[in-house]
Amino acid sequence: IVMTQTPLSLSVTPGQSASMSCKSSQSLLHSDGRTYLYWYLQKPGQSPQLLIYEASNRFSGVPARFSGSGSGTDFTLKISRVEAEDIGIYYCMQSIQLSVTFGQGTKVEIK
């Protein structure tokens, strides 16, 4: 499954919202009713960290300003009020297939 993220980079003013897209080449809806799409943030020099699991569920400790939406093959990550600590590269990932694949990432910078 090919994961395509847009845009590749985003420059955001603190306090403004930001939105990014992830499209999969096949549906990520499993027969068990769950959608296996995940969002990660990799801050500079750090390991990736899970933000959103199964398309729209915020992981433990993730601020409420992060939200995920979408279904099937089209997904969106939104940051409602960007803070300076949100800089880094955002990756989507699918795990519905045996072979996991990542999107190429969206780099978020602060203006």
Partner 1 sequence: QVQLVQSGAEVKKPGASVKISCKTSGYSFTSYYIHWVRQAPGQGLEWMAKFKPGGDTPTYAQKFQGRVTVTKDTTTTTAYIELSSLKSEDTAIYYCAKTLDYFDVSGIAFWGQGTLVIVSS
CA 80/CA 88 separation, integer angstroms:
16
Asked whether position 11 contacts partner 1 by CB under 8 A, the answer is: no
Are 37 and 28 within 8 A, CB to CB? yes
Residues in region 44-103 near partner 1 by CB under 8 A: 47-50, 53-54, 59, 89, 91, 93, 95-96, 98-103
Binding mask 30-49 for partner 1 (x = CB under 8 A): x---x-x-x-x-x----xxx
Which helix (H) or strand (E) segment holds residue 109: the answer is strand 106-110
CA 62/CA 67 separation, integer angstroms:
10
Name residue 74's amino acid: D
Closest separation between CB of residue 80 and partner 1, Å? 23
Q: Name the site residues for partner 1 (rule: CB under 8 A).
A: 30, 34, 36, 38, 40, 42, 47-50, 53-54, 59, 89, 91, 93, 95-96, 98-105
